[in-house]
Amino acid sequence: MATTGGYTAPAPRVERQTVVTDANGNAVFNWPAGAFAAPPVVTIGVQGGTAFRSHAITANTAASTTVNVLVAAGVTLLGIGVLAVGAPAAGITVHAHAVAP
């Protein structure tokens, strides 16, 4: 059987989930069993709201990824806009895309 000698590697596994943060500002994404052999490469999107929000991936394994979201209100002090100290952001929708490494 003749072949052209070309090979196309299979595409990496991709999972997508949307989770709402709990009272501590944590969103836990549980990946399907066996989806990843190693911790996936995860990108995060935080949805909505008028206040400043920041997020950080606090744990990442082949089975799950935890994201912490903080919210900070803007404060004007002597005519200069600054951000207040961050607090856990409960009820925030977080989107994740995970790709096998």
Range of the domain at 82: 14-99
pLDDT of residue 23: 97
Q: Which tens digit of pLDDT belongs to each residue from 13-45?
A: 999 999 999 999 999 999 999 999 999 999 999
31, part of any domain: yes
- Average pLDDT, stretch 84-88? 84
C-beta of residue 21 within 8 angstroms of C-beta of residue 69: yes
Q: Is 13 helix (H, G, I), strand (E, B) or coil?
A: coil
Q: Which two tokens stand for residue 96?
A: 């994740």
- The count of domains in the chain is 1
9, part of any domain: no
Judge whether residue 1 has pLDDT over 60: no
32, part of any domain: yes
C-beta of residue 58 within 8 angstroms of C-beta of residue 44: no
pLDDT of residue 89: 92
40, part of any domain: yes
pTM listed for this prediction: 0.82
